[in-house]
Chain A
């Protein structure tokens, strides 16, 4: 519980945007997908997933619509907007630079 720290929050946004860049999904599927792809390393805290989704929606980077899920229930599906795609690009670049820099520091022997 509790709010995620800055790094995680920023990263979570990136992860969500990336996950949605392939296809639109509902919240549960997003969490599952991140978990799966990362080989169960990244456990998305559900406590931070929904506030993050709502914040991204308010920012206009993702949009939501209600549709039938695979189990036949109505679920809220999120998908990327054009602005969100741009945001994903810039965050990816930013992340690449950041992780590269961190690697440099960590691997220095």
Chain B
């Protein structure tokens, strides 16, 4: 009972503190009045009675304070009064306060934004039960040069049958379906996943409505079934539960909807709209081959099994498979990554580098504020001394200063949080390649982190100046109270050190930004080997249902090319399957008929492209030898191929490539008997930062490829043709959906987005810190000048030249900049090694970058120091001396 009572008391003391104070006043006054009344009745006159009562009562104010001291929350009350005092002091110097809060806000904002990304993308676990046991499986080679190959169907089957380390293995493959319109709805291209039936069970997900796949659905002869994602169900079917059991048309084939996935489920990415069973969708041949690598595999480790053990087991199995199939692209090893790592390992370096950069920026902001506070502490030395002399404890004084800077950083943190929110909106928009971007938002952890950062910044920035003043100085300060010079040398030294550190960090940021910027410009200036300006591309997927035979496909594309060619502004129009700079798409093994058979286990492999006769002209890929495809090489007559220069270099060096024949397992008629090489074209790059790959161009008009990319080279701005081209497509087949309408510039831009982003962001950070360093230099030198005014006055009075004074002051101000520069350059060489994996065509010790950075820094430093130095040289000696 008593604790309840005490709790009640404490709540009351917390909430009704003001009222309790009034009551205490009344209580004491009552006592005093009673005493006065008693004294009067004893015969004293009123004045005497009053003073006697007061005498016996003691000092009412002290008494009240002592009674208050016994109340709960007394510590909090003192703390709040310190905070109030701190805020009052800050409000008195609004310029200083606003500047510091903004600087802090900027630093904290950038830091929190990047922390949010790192936390949400790299660290936050996927929302699955026991997700630490979920892994991605890859085929690999035992040499360790190739670690992330997707799985072949046959490999999946073998692993599933033999591996003991897993509770289950599942595969999936992204694909686009043409979802036909019904009931007035438009047709749409739906991103889908084909998956083995057990994938949901493996991830621990059940259907929100209906059911997920059963083993019986995942067979070639099963009834076609589909599971919808929540978003698709809500958007297209209005969240109607009656959709279960209904039939929808995918690629013009009927599928029965059996279930809807829960709203939170957005694996592998939120764009996925629906799921189909993979063994139903893909032929048994493909699903049993060990050479066709196209499946993403995930698995759940058995409890207690480590990744290393599981990898060892898969390696054994895979080695056996390789012995069984010594020919063809069959891998001989396996690799396992934790599922989260598999999604984000490509981004790690960049994100952590950015996070470190924001850390630097924040540190610079802190140093800057510490610097400003040291200056303030110097101007407040007298106040401090008087407070100490009157008995203010050192702890309380330091606490006061720290509280002041914490108040500043808390205000800055609030602004920073708002800035971070804006920055994140921009970032998610700018970096669409970031996986799990949908999970990037400010949550409880981020707010906690922000509060931690605020506190640490405030304490650090406040403690440096607070600890720099000590008791010994106090007496001297009071003695010196009438002299304004020769004081604060300690403060100046501390400020120089802080400034040096700040300049050093700035140099590190500048160099890193410089290196990344150079990388980016190198990437952007890479010649991918084809036309990149004024080229529009559109992706088309013809549904299997209505385009059953090659002739239908060829007719469609020929008609399309002919129509689009008529559009005003179109210069050249063609169809192909691959665009340079878009990354690797497909490769196939082949043999050269004219060459002797290769030793067992060796294969030749080249990228597989399909192109129509106009493709090389439209993309401006020069023909080096032989001829291009003829217009009448269609369908069964399309038995010729074109290769690129790299192909000749690698496989036909020193021979005449023309007339040689390629035998490959590609779905072109006659490919098994040998296709004649009729031409050689120049190389193009699959990856902007890569090297050319040997490539075989097969005739697109063999009609075996239903998916194609329409390429339009235009006379004017390419995007103007997007709509007319789409209309032309709808004019031939109104049920067709068009995807990925991009210009070639956009495609190349996408592949360099990470580099451009990192470079731009780092450059922004570097310039902010350069600006802060300039402010710091300016502030410190102005302060030194102000302190040395009498001395300068004497110098000038004794005949020092103005230039001499200016040189003297400049040297004073530039000294920390110099030491910081040297420090920063040394640190940069180390940091450059750390980010070496992010560089392309740029050396970590690129002299041009280092020279440019040094020059920028020195020019900025000189500019920042000139004004105070000039002011010092213009001093009127009389005024300066009168200040004494």
Residue of A nearest to B29 (CB): A73
Residue of A nearest to B33 (CB): A73
B346 at the interface (CB under 8 A from A): no
Would A74 and B26 count as touching, CB distance under 8 A? yes
* Shortest beta-carbon distance from A92 to chain B in Å: 18
Size category, B interface: 20 to 34
Q: How far is the CA of A60 from the CA of B1 in the complex (A)?
A: 10
Would B5 and A75 count as touching, CB distance under 8 A? no
Residue of B nearest to A87 (CB): B2
Would B71 and A58 count as touching, CB distance under 8 A? yes
Set of chain B residues within 8 Å of A54, measured between Cβ atoms: 24, 67-68, 70-71
Residue of A nearest to B58 (CB): A47
Size category, A interface: 20 to 34
Set of chain B residues within 8 Å of A55, measured between Cβ atoms: 70
Would B30 and A69 count as touching, CB distance under 8 A? yes
Would B67 and A50 count as touching, CB distance under 8 A? yes
Residue of A nearest to B53 (CB): A46
* Shortest beta-carbon distance from A10 to chain B in Å: 15
Residues 44-67 of A contacting B (Cβ, < 8 Å): 45-47, 50-51, 53-55, 57-60, 63, 66
Q: Identify B9's interface contact among A1, A31, A53, A57, CB under 8 A.
A: A57
Q: How far is the CA of A55 from the CA of B9 in the complex (A)?
A: 11
Would B27 and A1 count as touching, CB distance under 8 A? no
**B10-36 interface code vs A (CB 8 A; 1 in, 0 out):** 000100000000011011101101110
Set of chain A residues within 8 Å of B66, measured between Cβ atoms: 3, 47, 50-51
Residues 245-300 of B contacting A (Cβ, < 8 Å): none
A95 at the interface (CB under 8 A from B): no
A24 at the interface (CB under 8 A from B): no
Set of chain A residues within 8 Å of B30, measured between Cβ atoms: 26-28, 69, 73-76
Set of chain A residues within 8 Å of B31, measured between Cβ atoms: 26-28, 31, 46, 50
B45 at the interface (CB under 8 A from A): no
Known A26-B30, A46-B63, A76-B23: A81·B71 in contact at CB below 8 Å: no
Set of chain A residues within 8 Å of B566, measured between Cβ atoms: none
Would A60 and B69 count as touching, CB distance under 8 A? no
Residues 44-95 of B contacting A (Cβ, < 8 Å): 56-59, 62-63, 66-72
* Shortest beta-carbon distance from B800 to chain A in Å: 62
Q: How far is the CA of A76 from the CA of B30 in the complex (A)?
A: 9
Q: Identify B6's interface contact among A27, A59, A76, A82, CB under 8 A.
A: A59
Would B9 and A27 count as touching, CB distance under 8 A? no
Q: What secondary structure prevails in chain B residues at the interface with A?
A: helix
Set of chain B residues within 8 Å of A3, measured between Cβ atoms: 66
Would A46 and B9 count as touching, CB distance under 8 A? no
A8 at the interface (CB under 8 A from B): no
Would B63 and A58 count as touching, CB distance under 8 A? no
* Shortest beta-carbon distance from B75 to chain A in Å: 14
Set of chain B residues within 8 Å of A51, measured between Cβ atoms: 63, 66-67, 69-70
Residue of B nearest to A47 (CB): B58
Q: Identify A60's interface contact among B9, B27, B35, CB under 8 A.
A: B9
Set of chain B residues within 8 Å of A96, measured between Cβ atoms: none
Would B34 and A58 count as touching, CB distance under 8 A? no
Set of chain B residues within 8 Å of A42, measured between Cβ atoms: none
Q: Identify A47's interface contact among B6, B63, B69, B71, CB under 8 A.
A: B63
* Shortest beta-carbon distance from A3 to chain B in Å: 8
Residue of B nearest to A60 (CB): B5
Q: Identify A28's interface contact among B1, B34, B70, CB under 8 A.
A: B34
Known A51-B67, A73-B30, A82-B1: A1·B62 in contact at CB below 8 Å: yes
* Shortest beta-carbon distance from A103 to chain B in Å: 32
A83 at the interface (CB under 8 A from B): yes
Q: Identify B27's interface contact among A50, A71, A81, CB under 8 A.
A: A50
Set of chain B residues within 8 Å of A50, measured between Cβ atoms: 24, 27-28, 31, 63, 66-67
Known A1-B62, A28-B35, A76-B23: A46·B57 in contact at CB below 8 Å: yes
Q: How far is the CA of A57 from the CA of B71 in the complex (A)?
A: 9
* Shortest beta-carbon distance from A90 to chain B in Å: 13
* Shortest beta-carbon distance from B190 to chain A in Å: 69
Q: How far is the CA of A27 from the CA of B64 in the complex (A)?
A: 14
Residue of B nearest to A84 (CB): B2
Q: How far is the CA of A53 from the CA of B64 in the complex (A)?
A: 12
Set of chain B residues within 8 Å of A26, measured between Cβ atoms: 27, 30-31
Q: How far is the CA of A28 from the CA of B9 in the complex (A)?
A: 23
Q: How far is the CA of A60 from the CA of B10 in the complex (A)?
A: 10
* Shortest beta-carbon distance from B431 to chain A in Å: 57
Q: How far is the CA of A55 from the CA of B67 in the complex (A)?
A: 8
Q: Identify A58's interface contact among B27, B57, B70, CB under 8 A.
A: B70
Residues 478-495 of B contacting A (Cβ, < 8 Å): none
Q: How far is the CA of A53 from the CA of B72 in the complex (A)?
A: 14
Set of chain B residues within 8 Å of A75, measured between Cβ atoms: 27, 30
Q: Identify A46's interface contact among B26, B56, B71, B72, CB under 8 A.
A: B56
Q: How far is the CA of A45 from the CA of B57 in the complex (A)?
A: 8
Q: How far is the CA of A3 from the CA of B9 in the complex (A)?
A: 24
Q: How far is the CA of A56 from the CA of B28 in the complex (A)?
A: 17
Would A58 and B58 count as touching, CB distance under 8 A? no
Query: What 6 A-B pairs have minimum CB-CB distances, sorted nearest first?
Result: A55-B70, A60-B5, A83-B2, A28-B34, A47-B58, A51-B66
List 25 A-B residue pairs with CB atoms under 8 Å apart, sorted by A's residue number.
A1-B59, A1-B62, A3-B66, A26-B27, A27-B27, A28-B30, A46-B63, A47-B66, A50-B28, A50-B31, A54-B24, A55-B70, A58-B9, A58-B70, A60-B2, A60-B9, A63-B5, A66-B23, A71-B37, A73-B33, A74-B26, A81-B5, A82-B1, A83-B1, A83-B2
Q: B residues within 8 Å of A by Cβ?
A: 1-2, 5-6, 9, 13, 23-24, 26-28, 30-31, 33-35, 37, 56-59, 62-63, 66-72
Given A50-B27, A76-B26, 17 extra CB contacts under 8 A: A1-B58, A1-B62, A26-B27, A26-B30, A26-B31, A27-B30, A28-B30, A28-B31, A50-B31, A51-B63, A53-B67, A55-B70, A58-B9, A60-B2, A74-B30, A76-B27, A83-B2
